Each structure stands twice: as structure tokens, then as C-alpha cells.
Amino acid sequence: MRTNHLSHKKRLSRFVRLLGRLRPLELPVTHRHNSVELFNDGRQFFEALFDAIHSAKHSIQLEYYIIQNDRIGTGLAHELAAAVRRGVTVKLIYDYIGCLDTPASYFKDLSRQGVKLLPFNVPSFRRGFYWFDKRDHRKMTIIDGTLALLGGFNIGDEYAGCVAGKQSFRDLGFSIYGESVGELEAIFHNTWHGERDGHAAQTPLERPRRPVSRLGDAAVNIISGGPLQLHSYIRETFQVNIASAAEEILIATPYFVPGPRIIRSLLRAVRRGVRVRLLLPARSDVPMMLLLGRSSYATLLRGGVEIFELEREILHAKVMLIDAERTIIGSANLDQRSFHRNYEINCLVDNVRFGGQIRDLLLEDIDGSRRVDLDVHERRGIAVRIMERVVSLFGWFL
């Protein structure tokens, strides 16, 4: 699928009009001439991650929501310790709540090996209950300030395909090599210093100005989200790009609580002739999220949105593709927590080759998934409907 010139002009005009209505606080900077590589499963991603850490010469910065003390987690610890021994500075931010199941000995051993650690949002009852609802949901590694690996992968065996099929997670990752990595590094430093002193994270981001080098042909925007923003940049990026679509929208997300604005945007897209397909999970590691997501199916299906549920694995990929050429990919789900309360990192990649790879993967997953039929969905039992209603009362907090 390729958009024609007329479709591109129509999409651009809608994009500009919507930007004027939303008036975001700060438009993202477009970094051109990046090289972007897609990793379509956990094996590819973790091989690339460990190879990148092994090749680091000066610095490694990691920021992850979950790090488990299993085969993959142990392998990461060994690679980081080896990097420190050869003189590389290694800094790791991990989410305290996300790593509750990880033994403290894992992180103590990393510290003894010389890795500089920062647990994000350690419980402090002096702040009341606010600390409990704040999460660092980002997943990224930055190597020597020039290479970054991102996506939906946490550090654990189920993300790497090391467990039984139906317990493994279907995820996507990617790497960026180019000037946009400097902005990711600045975001990491803001979080590192902000979590230490409680103030730096609220200061405007100082984007580094580096000479442009032509490493590739992908234009990249970095979309950083967090609860300190007055408006949700994450949600606005989704909304603006949905509104700009001329022919096709493909979405995969594991936790689907989009809220009325995104739902209206998807329905408007269908009404103007855009084909919209959602790939959602049939099984989840957070079962209540399935109930919550399915409570909006009827509205979407009646409006012409096509919905498919992935059954063979637990869906964990977070990606939106617009007209086979513009991809939003990273750590953020289409849910209220990612929009408003998590620290997230997404990338907007404008590149036909990368978009084509994403489209091929999503269509393959859609072909292997169960299509949700409105008539069948409407015949779900009264008990399920009641549970959906009850769970929806707490949807904003999940």
C-alpha cells in the first residue's frame, strides 16, 4: 500500500488544522537522517541489546520498568559488570514498583560491580499516596550517546521467548542510530537528576545541538510523556496522527483504555474512508484490562472499526502505523495510565521502509488472530456485562 500525492496533501492539511486546535505546549523536534532498525521478536532484540552493551566504549544508560532475576536478567547483569570492568560508565534507572518481585540482592550485586543505580519512586509516605501511582514505564538503552534501543520489551525471559508459547509475550523493539539519540540522552539525564533532587525533572528539556550526520533516511520525533505535563503529549501525538490518516490505520496495544477523545478520532477516521484495524490481546497479564478494553468494542465495531484478538501469545507490542509510512512505537499503551500518569517514551518514525516492515508484521499477526464479530460480542453474558461496568468505574486508575 502506498499513498498517492493527493492523499498526502489531504492528510497534511488535516494534520496542520488539528495541530492548531490542540496547540501543544512544545512541538517535538524532527531529527532527520537517522538509521532505524526493527526487531520483530525478543530473540532479535536481546541479541542486539547484549551486542550493543558489549561494544560500548564510554557510556551505557538504561531505563526499564521491569527487570527480572531470570536468565535474561542475569545475562544483562553480566554484560553490565563486564562493561564497568573495561572502563565504561553504566547508569541504570529501574522502577521500584515494577521491580518489587526482583530480589534486592540482584541490585546490590550490580552496585558492588560498579553499576550506578537509581530506583525510581522509592516509597515515601511523606508524599501521601501520590508515590504509589507514579511509574517509570520507559524501556530504553543508550550506548555512547549515539545508539539507542527502545520498544515494549522489559528485561525478562517471557519477553525474550524463553518460556512456553502461550506464556510468552509478543513484542516489538527497534534501534535508532543518529542525532535523535542525543535527545533521548537528555531525557535520561533529566530523569536521573530529577529523581535525585526532586526538581530537575520539572525543568524544560535542554536538547543537545550536535552536527547533523547523514546516517540514514528516517525522520524521528521523540515523544516523552509524564505526569508533570499540563497536557498529555503521548495522547496528543496519537490523536494528531489518527486525524492525519488518509487511507489506513493499524494499531497494536496490550492495554486498551483509549478514552472518549481517541475513540471519537478513530470513528471520524472511518467516516472519512480510512480503514482502521485494531490488534488487541485475547489473554492478558492484567485480566481486568481485558474487561475494560472490551467494554468499548461495541461502539467501535458499530462505527466500522475492525478488531482482532491475538491468541497464540500475550500481546505486549505498542505500535500505531499511519498510511504505511508513519509509525508511533515505544513504551506507551493506548490507556489512561500511559496518557497521564506514567513516564513514557515513544518515537514517531517517518520512513516508508520502516513503515512497510511494521505493516507486514502487523498484517501477519492480524491474519493469525481471531476477528471480533459484533453479533457474537453482543451475545456475551449478563455477568460479563456487569463485570465490565464495575471495572469501568476504576478504569482511570488501572
217 is catalytic: no
139 is catalytic: yes
The dihedral sign for the CA sequence 329, 394, 23, 195: negative
Residue 94 · residue 120 · CB < 8 Å: yes
Among 31, 134, 139, 340, the active-site one is 139
Residue 113 · residue 97 · CB < 8 Å: no
144 is catalytic: yes
10 is catalytic: no
316 is catalytic: yes
Among 91, 144, 193, 231, the active-site one is 144
Pick the closest to residue 67 from 55, 77, 59 (CA basis): 77
- Mark out the alpha helices in the chain (DSSP H runs): 5-22, 42-55, 71-85, 104-112, 180-197, 233-244, 259-271, 287-294, 297-302, 336-340, 352-367, 374-378, 382-392
Among 31, 134, 137, 340, the active-site one is 137
3-state helix, strand and coil shares in percent for the chain, rounded to the nearest 5: 40, 25, 35
**d(C-alpha 319, C-alpha 169), whole Å:** 15
The dihedral sign for the CA sequence 206, 209, 212, 215: negative
Among 316, 335, 340, 350, the active-site one is 316
- Provide DSSP, 266-332: HHHHHHTT-EEEEEEESS-SSHHHHHHHHTTHHHHHHTT-EEEEE-SSEE---EEEETTTEEEEES-
CA-to-CA dists, residue 270 to 186, 259, 264, 295, angstroms = 38, 17, 10, 20
Residue 187, C-alpha cell as written in the block: 531525557
Residue 320 · residue 238 · CB < 8 Å: yes
Length of the chain: 398
Catalytic residues: 137, 139, 144, 316, 318, 323
